[in-house]
Amino acid sequence: MRLAHGLAALWATSIHAATLQKIEADFPNPTNVGFYLYVPDTLSPNPPVLVSPHWCHGDALAVYKGSSFASLADRYGFIVIYPDSPNAADKCWDVSSRGTLSHQSGGGDSQGIVNMVAWTVKRYKADAGRVFVTGVSSGAMMTNVLLGAYPDVFAAGTAFAGVPFGCYAAPDGSADYWNSDCATGLVTHTGAEWRSIVQAAYPGYNGWRPKVQVFHGTADEVLNYTNFGEEVKQWTSVLGLCGSKPAKTEENNPFPNWTKYVYGKDGWLEAYSALDVTHNIGNHEDVAMKWFDLTCTTGNCFRWGQGGPKGDSLLNQTPAF
């Protein structure tokens, strides 16, 4: 995986091109996740917000420099949040503790990240209905955590080489736990069991769920390819799609020897299997941008509560912020 050096720590201190800023804000942040923000010079009206958590041994600056989301934000006027893991040992995200796997539990990295979203929405009058998340490896794991624990915040997510929500859960509920069984593909469940794990993160929630996109290489040497199938089982069940068989299969999409599987008549889950690709699957910003509809700046842009398996039954619901 890619490495990066430490980041500056002053309020609104420029650390790259005078635009990436570290924010010190007063909101619940139980694990002290670092808050880095990219706000382009020209924002679209009520701009969307993209959250981009980094990989293990990375940091906010590494993913900022290692992806093109900042330049895309310049072009389309959205805001990017680059959270920074507080885990100094390996800079992996907490995807194992009871706190991070629970909705507003009072603990865990996920709560700090969600409160960054709330702060950004308020500060910049951003569109609370157009909040998205994408990441690679540990960032993909956190993407699934945020989609599972905070379905009332995120409209969609894209996870590159991740694992299902709750797969890394520590037996003792602790943070910074490396779950070797999950990493090697030994944690498997039925779709119904995976659904119960997600539902336990937010007991009683029966509202709209974000759409999900997952990617995995068949030769992944860090997080076994088995996790791809488990993600599909989890999200098809959580989203109430018809079984785990795809409604549509497209070969060589978006690249040669990659296969795209579309689930449900609304296509609320897309799963991409990359033949012979290792864990270094990379960011594919163009695919994620299309999934999030982030190139849309006016009119009927995709947003929270729009479409999905439950159709119009939840039209009166609104996102959290």
What is the distance between the alpha carbons of residues 63 and 142, in angstroms, rounded to a whole number?
14
What is the distance between the alpha carbons of residues 289 and 276, in angstroms, rounded to a whole number?
25
pLDDT at residue 310 greater than cutoff 70: no
Task: Give the tens place of pLDDT for each residue, 52-96.
Answer: 999 999 999 999 999 999 999 999 999 999 999 999 999 999 999
pLDDT at residue 166 greater than cutoff 80: yes
Q: Quick check: is 96 catalytic? A: no
**pLDDT for the residue numbered 15:** 42
DSSP state at residue 311 = G
pLDDT band at 3 (very low <50, low <70, confident <90, very high): very low
A 10 A CB-CB count for 45 gives: 9
What is the distance between the alpha carbons of residues 50 and 78, in angstroms, rounded to a whole number?
7
Longest CA pairwise span in the chain (Å): 50
pLDDT band at 276 (very low <50, low <70, confident <90, very high): very high
Q: List the beta strands (DSSP E) in 68-191.
A: 79-84, 131-136, 156-160
**pLDDT for the residue numbered 314:** 53
**pLDDT for the residue numbered 298:** 85
Kindly state the average pLDDT of the residues 136-157. 99
Closest CA to 181 of 194, 171, 173, 190: 171
What DSSP string describes 241-275?
-SSSS-SEEEET-SSTTEEEEEETTTT-EEEEEET
pLDDT at residue 146 greater than cutoff 80: yes
**pLDDT for the residue numbered 9:** 33
Give the DSSP H/E element, type plus range, for residue 117.
helix 109-124
Task: Give the tens place of pLDDT for each residue, 188-203.
Answer: 999 999 999 999 999 9
**pLDDT for the residue numbered 316:** 56
Task: Give the tens place of pLDDT for each residue, 216-242.
Answer: 999 999 999 999 999 999 999 999 997
**pLDDT for the residue numbered 321:** 82
Cα 121 off chain centre by: 17
Domain 20-310: top CATH class: alpha beta
Residue 105 tokens, joined: 């539990």
pLDDT at residue 161 greater than cutoff 50: yes
pTM of this prediction exceeds 0.95: no
What is the distance between the alpha carbons of residues 248 and 204, in angstroms, rounded to a whole number?
32
Give the DSSP H/E element, type plus range, for residue 71.
helix 69-76
- Cα dist. 28→93, 132, 148, 267 in Å? 17, 21, 20, 35
What DSSP string describes 9-32?
-SBT-B-STTTEEE----S--TT-
pLDDT at residue 106 greater than cutoff 80: no
Do 238 and 194 meet the contact criterion of CB atoms below 8 Å apart?
A: yes
Selected catalytic residue, list 67, 96, 137, 138: 137
pLDDT at residue 17 greater than cutoff 80: no
What is the rounded average pLDDT for all residues in the chain? 92
Give the DSSP H/E element, type plus range, for residue 212.
strand 211-217
What is the distance between the alpha carbons of residues 185 and 136, in angstroms, rounded to a whole number?
18
CA 180-184-185 angle, 5° bins: 120
* Three-class SS state of 144: helix
**pLDDT for the residue numbered 10:** 31
What is the distance between the alpha carbons of residues 305 and 96, in angstroms, rounded to a whole number?
29
